[in-house]
Homo-oligomer: A and B are copies of this chain.
Amino acid sequence: MRQDGRLSNGLRDIKITRNFLKTAEGSALIEMGRTKVICSASIEDKVPQFLKDMEKGWVTAEYSMLPRSTPTRIIRESTSGKIGGRTHEIQRLIGRTMRSVMDLDAIGKRTIWLDCDVIQADGGTRAASITGAFVALTDAVKFAMGNRMIEKNPIKDYVAAVSVGIVNGEPVLDLTYPEDSTAEVDMNIVMTGSGKFIEIQGTAETMPFDKDRLRRLLELAEEGIREIITIQKSVLEG
């Protein structure tokens, strides 16, 4: 059993608060255990330079952590003057994920910005950001359809993410920060509502892993994501 009493295939408590910000087209506060992320979706009436001659839109993401989201204060990237590699990796992942379930032709010459700001971090912030950003995105799309900015629903499927890993030799689901920082293998999986993979990012932190371990980690992730998407559905459709 794990330090917080969960079984190896147990998720932490998940709570998603829709429309957390009154100022945005779509927004959500997602809480996975002690991990808390504010996700917002903003619609902008222009597209990046590389799409300027095409009749389609774009979806992109930015990710940041409050300086005191962690037990030790971290320096703001605005202060240090550069965006770190980890931040870049995560925001590219969030953007790519959202685009993979969107019909970009259907949103016209617009950009949807997804901002994921971690208020409190206890592991799994990138997975929580993806899961929460999908809710904010869905609400922004509803807003745009309600305002007749968009005619056809561009969202093709649900999408959510979860972390899995090998901790003390045991494959486990949804790692807390203490688990993550001692994990031998650390993996983030993004899957659709129809059970297909969008992203697999697995890293052997201290110990290379074989195919059996990989298979078990993918099973745990699949189960976990199915459960998370059920929660998304109840929040969005309930």
* Bound-complex Cα distance A205 to B199 (A): 9
CB distance from A50 to the nearest CB of B (A): 12
Q: How many copies does the complex hold?
A: 6
- 1/0 per residue A167-210: CB within 8 Å of B? 00000000000000000000100011011111111111110111
Known pairs A62-B67, A67-B113, A86-B92. 11 more at Cβ < 8 A? A21-B119, A23-B68, A23-B69, A38-B66, A42-B73, A62-B79, A64-B78, A81-B82, A84-B88, A85-B92, A200-B214
A40 at the interface (CB under 8 A from B): yes
Please tell me if the beta carbons of B79 and A83 are within 8 angstroms of each other in the complex: yes
**A contact face: mostly helix, strand, loop, or mixed:** mixed
Please tell me if the beta carbons of A21 and B78 are within 8 angstroms of each other in the complex: no
Number of interface residues of A (CB under 8 A): 64
Please tell me if the beta carbons of B73 and A44 are within 8 angstroms of each other in the complex: yes
Chain A residues in contact with chain B, CB under 8 A? 21-24, 27, 34, 38, 40, 42, 44, 62, 64, 66-71, 73, 76-79, 81-86, 88-89, 91-92, 96, 100, 113, 115, 117, 119-121, 157, 187, 191-192, 194-206, 208-211, 214, 218
